[in-house]
Structures are given as C-alpha cells and as structure tokens.
Amino acid sequence: MNKAELREKDIMTLLRVSGKVSVAEAMALLDVSESTVRRLFNKLEADGSAVRTYRGISINTVSGTRESYSFERNELYRSNEKIMIGEAAERLIEEGDTLYLDSGTTVLRLCSAMARAAAVNGERYSAVTVFTNSLANLNLLKDRMNVCLIGGEFRPHRQDFCGYLTDEVIKKLHFTKCFVGADGFSVKNGLTASDFDTARINQLVVASSDKRILLADTSKAGKASVIHYAPIESVDTLVTNKWLDSDIKAELIEKNINIIEA
C-alpha cells in the first residue's frame, strides 16, 4: 500500500467514527500540507466515499460506507461543541502525564486537538504517554507522541477493542489522568453508558487514575443511560460546553467537581 492509499485509509477510518474531518484535523493526522489534504478530499468525493463541506469533508451516508453507530449520529449533532470541549481539555495535559483516552467521539476531538498542538510544539508531548483502546485515537496521535494501543476483541462499528483481554491489561496500569465520556451523567445516577463493555472499561480506568476528567456536552447532563459505571464523586473535572443547567452546575460544584465550560 503506497502513501496515498495509506492516507485515504486513515481518513476513512476517522470518518467512519466521527462522521466528518476538517482540513486542519487531516493536516495534523497525515502531517501533510493543506493542498495535499484538499487533493485527497477531492479524490474521496470523486470516488463517492465522502462529500466536501466548508473547511472539511463528511462521510457519504448514501454510499452505505458509514457504520450504523448511534453515537456517531450524536457526535455529528453537536460536532462544534465537541470540538470546543476537546480544545479545552487539551490544555489540561501536562508534561510527564500518562493518559488514558477512551474511544468516544468527544475524546476523539481531544485527540484532534492534541495532534494539532503537537504539530506546533512537539516538545509539549515529548514526555507524555497515551494509552487507548481506540484505533481512531491511535491514527490521530501515532506520529506525534508515544501511544500504546490496548488490544482485545475488536469492535468494527466503534473502531475499538474490548473484553477480557482489554480489562486485564487496564487492571495492571496506572494513569495520571484519564479522559472519558458518558452517555449521561448526574449527581443521582453518576456516570452511565449504553453498553456493558464500555461501562466496564471506563469503570476500571476511573479506578486506576489519579485525576478523572469527564468530557460531555450539556445534552448528557441530568440524563441516565442503561449502565451506571462510576459515582459522580469520582469525577475531578467536567469539561462541557456553555449553558450547563444552573441547578445541575450547583449540584456538581457541591460535590467539589471543577467545571470547565468551553
């Protein structure tokens, strides 16, 4: 597989998870110029794999190449908010950190911000180690910093790994910070997820981290999904977008949770 084919593969992997990719994200991911990215985007559109948008490209849902993954649809619904959350969360990373990044699409936007920051200043991430179970995260970060992929049973629709092997590896690791998502969060129900494997992984990660950072837009606030995986008190920092409900915000502050509104 030549360089051009590898670039197409990396972009299509990210598109299948997040639904769209900006020119800046593609430049950081592929370490190429803007003109090279635009040529690649034009080819993918000509092939029918994607559709050009303002400053980016989106998966062509008509062609049937996109996985039927509801979390992707949610990510597209609040894409701009998730980008801002990712940029705010990136500023929390410090020299010497050992990070865990989960496979959710909000964390994927954090990875995009990390790749851009590392492209500008490589020294910023020279002493940072990243652990993740996500292929999409790996593809964004692999050329910019030290990334360790945690394996297990592969889930094509999520582009990540889960199961017994994943759990056993995480049990043996320690992280200075973890960045996780949730399908819903509240003081009453804590952090919740929609599938058992993701809930189990995040439960283990939270228990193995010094600082736990939740990335979730305000549409998740006050809601509960099927599976509770951690109490709200386990969160040190919530990075969300503006307009968080004032009552929910007051409850979180009472629990000593630092809130960053991007």
pLDDT tens digit sequence for 1-29: 688 888 888 888 777 766 788 888 888 87
- Burial class of 211 by CB neighbour count within 10 A (0 to 12, 13 to 18, 19+): middle
Is residue 140 within 8 A of residue 28, CB to CB? The reply is yes
Instruction: Indicate whether 14 and 39 sit together in one domain.
Output: yes
Instruction: Indicate whether 108 and 154 sit together in one domain.
Output: yes
pLDDT tens digit sequence for 173-214: 999 999 999 999 999 999 999 889 999 999 999 999 999 999
Beta strands in 146-225 (DSSP E): 146-149, 153-155, 160-162, 175-180, 184-186, 190-193, 209-215
Asked if the model's pLDDT at residue 149 lies above 90, the reply is yes
Instruction: Indicate whether 232 and 181 sit together in one domain.
Output: yes
Residue 36's pLDDT is 92
SS3 143: coil
Residue 35's pLDDT is 92
Query: Among candidates 87, 58, 84, which has minimal Cα distance to 72?
Result: 58
Instruction: Indicate whether 45 and 96 sit together in one domain.
Output: no
Instruction: For residue 123, give every residue at least 6 positions away whose Cβ sits within 8 Å of its Cβ, in sequence order, or none.
Output: none
Lowest mean pLDDT across 2-6, 121-125, 128-132, 143-147: 2-6
> Helix 34-47 crosses helix 3-18 at what angle (to 10 degrees)?
70
Residue 61's pLDDT is 59
251 residue type, one letter: E
pLDDT tens digit sequence for 47-92: 888 888 888 898 775 544 444 444 444 444 467 888 899 999 999 9
Instruction: Indicate whether 138 and 245 sit together in one domain.
Output: yes
Of residues 223 and 4, which shows the higher confidence score? 223
Percentage of residues in the chain having pLDDT higher than 70 = 92
Exposure b/e, 127-142, CB count within 10 A at least 16 = b: ebebbbbbbbbbbbbb
Instruction: Indicate whether 202 and 114 sit together in one domain.
Output: yes
d(CA 3, CA 180): 33
Q: What is the count of structural domains for the chain?
A: 2
Domain span at residue 220 reads: 71-261
Residue 203's pLDDT is 97
Instruction: Indicate whether 11 and 81 sit together in one domain.
Output: no
Tell me the DSSP string of 222-252.
T---SEEEE-GGG-SEEEE-S---HHHHHHH
Of residues 55 and 261, which shows the higher confidence score? 261
| Domain C-terminal end among 32, 66, 100 | 66
Asked if the model's pLDDT at residue 37 lies above 80, the reply is yes
Radius of gyration of the chain (CA): 18
Residue 78's pLDDT is 61
Instruction: Indicate whether 111 and 228 sit together in one domain.
Output: yes
**Region 210-225: what's the mean pLDDT?**
94
Instruction: Indicate whether 53 and 160 sit together in one domain.
Output: no
Instruction: Indicate whether 47 and 76 sit together in one domain.
Output: no
- How far lies 27's CA from each of 20, 22, 45, 143, 193, in Å? 14, 9, 17, 12, 32
Instruction: Indicate whether 46 and 78 sit together in one domain.
Output: no
CATH of the domain at 192: 3.40.50.1360
Asked if the model's pLDDT at residue 138 lies above 70, the reply is yes
Residue 66's pLDDT is 42
Residue 205's pLDDT is 98
Asked if the model's pLDDT at residue 164 lies above 90, the reply is yes
Instruction: Indicate whether 143 and 159 sit together in one domain.
Output: yes
Residue 17's pLDDT is 67
| Domain C-terminal end among 15, 37, 66 | 66
| Domain C-terminal end among 25, 44, 66 | 66
CATH of the domain at 9: 1.10.10.10
Judge if pTM exceeds 0.85.
Answer: no
